[in-house]
Amino acid sequence: MLGKLDWSAIPFDQPIPLIAGGVVLAGILAVLIWVVVKGHLPYLWHEWITSVDHKRIGAMYILLASVMLLRGGSDAIMMRIQQAIAYQSQGYLPPEHYNQIFSAHGTIMIFFVAMPFVIGLMNLVVPLQLGVRDVAFPTLNSVGFWLTATGALLVNLSLVIGEFARTGWLAFPPLSELSYSPGVGVDYYAWSLQISGVGTLVAGINLVTTVLKLRTKGMNYLRMPMFCWTTLASNLLIVAAFPILTATLAMLLLDRYLGFHFFTNEAGGNVMMFMNLIWAWGHPEVYILVLPAFGIYSEVVSTFSSKPLFGYRSMVLATMAICIISFMVWLHHFFTMGAGPDVNAIFGIASMIIAVPTGVKIYNWLFTMYGGRIRFATPMLWSVGFMVTFIIGGLTGVLVAVPPADFMLHNSMFLVAHFHNVIIGGVLFAAFAGFEYWFPKAFGFRLDERWGKVGFWFTFVGFWVTFMPLYIVGMLGMTRRMQHYDVAEWRPWMLVAAFGMLLLTIGVLAQITQVVVSVRNRDALRDRTGDPWDGRSLEWATSSPPPVFNFAFYPDVRGEDAYWALKQHAKEQQLGDHPGPEYQDIEMPRNSPTGFVCAFFATVMGFALIWHIWWMVILGGVGAFATFVVFAWRDHDEYVIPAAEVERIDRINIEERRSLVSMAGAV
Amino acid sequence: MNLLDPQGPVAAANSTILVDSVFIMLAIVVPTIVAILAFAFWFRASNPKANFQPDFVYSGRVEMVVWAIPALTVILLGGVAWIGSHQLDPAAPVPGTGSPVRIQAVSLDWKWLFIYPDQRIATVNMLTVPAGAELNIQLTSSSVMNTFFIPQLGSMIYTMNGMVTKLNLRADNEGKLKGLSAHFSGDGFPDMMFDVNVISPLSFPDWVATTAKTDAVLNEDSYKKLMQQGIEKGRPTYRLEDPRLFDLIATQHIPPGPGPQLASEAGRSQSGGHDAR
């Protein structure tokens, strides 16, 4: 009846996951009860859960990423403490627990923090920057988000029911095959990623289509803001690479469930095939994350330097070059597998070539600052912090692309330090910069600058204190994923790294405080202009938060930095009366519970697959499919906002801006 | 285990390339970081002396330079990578004094088996080699993937079941070194560190003779016991019965290691964990 599931799945003998799970469960229950008692449930259902508004979905993606950041961060803290104390001892985490933690940490940070964070920001911002009213497939967008949430839920479920993979975040066979990992851990891993992978793929298709097909009048490709370009490149990579991940994991699952032999030791299975396939996805994945990050920095550096982006066309070229080359370098993840020198050298050089367009980007940001009038608001601090940090990460990255150097550094703590250097210093800093930068647009008030800066400095310094020691122990021969060790010379550095983790934790707490303080002071921090940073692209042309239809009229774009040009034009015209064409009815997509219901069934199906509860698998599968069918048979999928209502909303916005401008004029 | 304190020619060459590459890159990285901080500081909005140039958005010369700098660096480093990859191919010979020593390394769950086919002996978690001689190492795995790595001798390489990888090394100085597995392989992974004793070429035959006197015999049966999951704190040594044992393992005539021996748990398999502790 319940497949492999019974009471032994709950780890009653292990206090740490049980208490952690209990606290989280209590927290979720408390929030749910509060929501129901206060009568917020209809609001949540109508305005958020079933919403197909790209801004709402973007915000939910970012919320999901933030919550999962806390989970992945807790894992990181536990690992740093373990390695700080496990010198000539077992520490406080037995191997079967420690191994789950580092596997979950990697999986969560990549798939459920970095990915949803950047996809959330792209969702929130790209349609606004393109001057359009929504993404190409609004309901699909909602489906994508909820499937991602399903994956995150399953990963967290493994904390209290069963176990997570103990194989590392890429679950290399044969270790991840049934003979060596007979538990449900790898199944949790694989099904979470299969389901959320579908979500990511549809998000990718959606955003590619949006950028290619939905642009306002005059928004040529070469007038698009840099963030739209990097979104395009990143989502092209998603569309090309995620099917590889899905296929690879499907093969692993066939091995585990149906006795196939793709990657087993026996019957001609080939583990090297898995290595190639997973990295054929895995390397583009790195650029899927970092390209949007580059886009965010481009927007932030240009805005806060009060200058257009330097060398825009060069940046576009660099972005697309990275997009293409990133598919041709996967082999550098296993130089040490014994491929010949020609193969290693060619892939090593190909990997270095990526550093050229990346270097160009750094220099173009540098020259964007040159001759600028730089305001050091929090997003700009993150950006300058990124530039300094990322160069070092790039240096160590090119270093491990040199095969003979990689022969000593592969899989070492040096490598761990390198990819944290580029992912924290590149992607996470960008996520935070983008969060600070676009938060006023999403919610209508700015974030508290003082706490934001505290958060930045603790995170920035904490990053260096945590990861420089890891570079050093890597040079001292320490490899990754060690639950304990006996080498005395590593010990002091692990203690320093643990202290750095404390600083990082304070940084995160400061950012949480920042949000709380800002919500309390939201009236004082209110953004009435819709343009709190003196921005340059179209998202700042509408109110904060934007009306559901984003723009009453499709903006007419006449060059790069579309909104900046509009503002200059308005100044020259002395803010003449809004001549205003006639307001017209606007059709917007109807809310739909399709995404939520579909994800509900996907969760049921995923859970049942993990535990071999076959009747439930069928129930979930049929349910999810039926949801699609019902949606496909819909008659009305749009509703009309009457012209009068559009006019009313738009007039309020215009009045607000005008009164502010006249006040500014009076001062 | 310091990578910058090499004890053999391979490690020395690896670390030279490593250090050279870092300095080649630092030559542009340091000025760039300085420029970032300097520009950011000088062009701060509160500096009245800074010259505001909002129209400085394109310069062919600057573009030329910013594409050229990283490109030239990569051309230089690419050359280093190409030559280094060929000279330091793990399978390339590393000439030494005296006759080469053949070693066959097998990663087990979770220990290292070192077979000396010519000397007809085998050791676990302890690799004894003569200084100055070429070491021809063939590697395979009894079950999951691992990586054989002696940091101060250089170049690591994967071990995989059903496959043989090759690595040639040389240890130049007598002394004790440490080796490890650099690819996660399960619960006992951290206990896969092994001792490397580099002894004088003169005493190597003595060590072989002493080791060969042991009663413990390594053959298919004792190997199958050895490959069961578990960690090995001691340093057992064996007399090798069949010098073709490695080939039997690598060609899967001896089936791969069985993995955790399941008791009756459904969900939480903990057998591996118990072994490790």
Is A85 at the interface with chain B, CB within 8 A?
Answer: no
Are B36 and A5 within 8 A, CB to CB?
no
The answer to whether B115 touches B137, Cβ cutoff 8 Å, is: no
Chain B nearest-CA residue for A169: B184
* Window 602-631 of A, Cβ < 8 Å to B: 611
C-beta separation of B242 from B124 below 8 A? no
User: In the structure encoding, which two tokens stand for residue A641, read together?
Assistant: 């906002």
* Portion 460-499 of A in contact with B at CB < 8 A: 475-487, 489
DSSP state of A319: H
Q: What is the pLDDT of residues B181-214, one digit of tens each?
A: 999 999 999 999 999 999 999 999 999 999 998 8
Are the C-beta atoms of A352 and A328 separated by less than 8 Å? no
Residue numbers in B near A359 (CB within 8 A): 66, 69-70, 73
What confidence tier does A160 reach under pLDDT thresholds 50, 70, 90? confident
pLDDT in tens, A281-305: 999 999 999 999 999 999 999 999 9
**Distance of residue B16 Cα from the nearest chain A Cα, in angstroms:** 9
Share of chain A above pLDDT 70, in %: 98
* pLDDT class of A579 with cuts at 50, 70, 90: low
List of chain B residues whose C-beta atoms are within 8 Å of the C-beta of residue A370 = 39, 43, 53, 56
B270 pLDDT above the threshold of 80 = no
- A579 versus B113: the higher-pLDDT residue is B113
From B20's Cα to the closest Cα of chain A, the distance in A is: 10
CB contacts, 8 Å: B67 with chain A: 314, 356, 360
How far is it, in rounded angstroms, from Cα A630 to Cα B89? 60
Query: Position of tokens 């206090």?
Result: A15
DSSP of A420-470: HHHIIIIIIHHHHHHHHHHHHHHHSBPPPHHHHHHHHHHHHHHHHHHHHHH
Q: Which of residues 354 through 383 in chain A touch B, CB cutoff 8 A?
A: 355-356, 358-360, 362-364, 366-367, 369-376
Q: Which of B65, B81, B187 minimises the CB distance to A348?
A: B81
Q: Using DSSP, state whether B146 is helix, strand or coil.
A: strand
Which pTM was predicted? 0.91
Q: What is the pLDDT of residue A162?
A: 86
What's the pLDDT band for A553 if we cut at 50, 70, 90?
A: confident
Angstrom distance (rounded) from CA A123 to CA A144: 11
* Per-residue model confidence as pLDDT tens digits over B65-109: 989 988 998 899 899 889 989 989 998 899 988 889 999 999 999
What are the residues facing A310 on neighbouring strands? none
| Residue B127 main-chain phi, psi, to 5 deg | -115, 115
Question: What's the gap in Å between the CA of B128 and the closest CA on chain A?
Answer: 20
**DSSP track, A205-237:** HHHHHHHHH---TT--GGGS-HHHHHHHHHHHH
User: Are the beta carbons of B205 and B218 closer than 8 angstroms?
Assistant: no
Confidence of residue B275 (pLDDT cuts 50, 70, 90): very low
Residue B264, pLDDT score: 42
Distance CA A503, CA A221 (A): 43
- Which chain A residues in 563-582 lie under 8 Å from chain B, judged by CB atoms? none
Residue A103 with chain B: CB contacts under 8 Å: none
- Residue A661 pLDDT greater than 70, yes or no: no
**Gap between the Cα atoms of B99 and B27, Å rounded:** 44
Contact at CB, B272 and A96, closer than 8 angstroms: yes
- Give the residue-averaged pLDDT of B27-32: 92
Vertex A276: Cα angle to A393 and B146 (nearest 5): 80
Which chain A residues have a beta carbon less than 8 Å from that of B187? 95-96, 99, 166
Selected residue of A399, A479, A485, A571 to mutate for chain B interface (largest B Cβ count, 10 A): A479
Q: Which of A137-151, A524-538, A578-592, A639-653 has the highest mean pLDDT?
A: A137-151
Q: Quick one: residue A39, left, alpha or beta (phi over 0 = left, psi -120 to 50 = alpha)?
A: left
Residue A234 has pLDDT above 90, yes or no: yes
Query: pLDDT, tens digit, for every residue of A324-343?
Result: 999 899 999 999 998 889 99
- The Cα B155–Cα B169 span in angstroms is 8
Is residue B228 scored above 80 in pLDDT?
Answer: yes
CB B178 to CB A477 under 8 A? yes
Contact B70 A489 (CB under 8 A): no
- Chain B interface test: which of A1, A8, A96 (most B C-beta within 10 Å): A96
Contact list in A for residue B77 (CB cut-off 8 A) is 352, 398, 402
Lowest pLDDT segment from A372-386, B86-100, B133-147: B86-100
Q: Write down the pLDDT at residue A664.
A: 56
Could you tell me the pLDDT band of residue A502, with boundaries at 50, 70 and 90? Answer: very high
Residues 185-244 of chain A whose Cβ lies under 8 A from any Cβ of chain B: none
Asked if B189's CB is within 8 angstroms of A483's CB, the reply is yes
Closest CA to B145 of B275, B244, B256: B256
Instruction: Using an 8 Å CB-CB cutoff, list chain A residues near B152.
Output: 477
Q: Kindly report the CA angle at A589 between A66 and A36, in degrees rounded to 5?
A: 50
Exposed, middle or buried, A405 (CB in 10 Å: 0-12/13-18/19+)?
Answer: buried
Closest C-alpha among A625, A150, A237, A336 to residue B160: A336
pLDDT at B265: 41
Alpha-carbon gap, residue A24 to A33, rounded angstroms? 14
What is the rounded CA–CA span in Å between residue A82 and residue A498?
9
Instruction: Annotate B259-275 with DSSP letters as a single string.
Output: -S---S-SS---HHHHH
**C-alpha span between A33 and A38 (Å, rounded):** 8
Interface test mutation site (partner A, options B5, B18, B229, max chain A beta carbons within 10 A): B18
Contact criterion met (CB < 8 Å) for A166 and B186? yes
Mean pLDDT of chain A: 90
pLDDT for res A238: 95
pLDDT at A512 over 70: yes
Helical ranges in chain B per DSSP H: 9-42, 60-87, 204-212, 220-226, 245-250, 271-276
Q: What is the pLDDT of residues A446-480, one digit of tens each?
A: 999 999 999 999 999 999 999 999 999 999 999 99
Strand (E) or helix (H) holding A152: helix A138-157
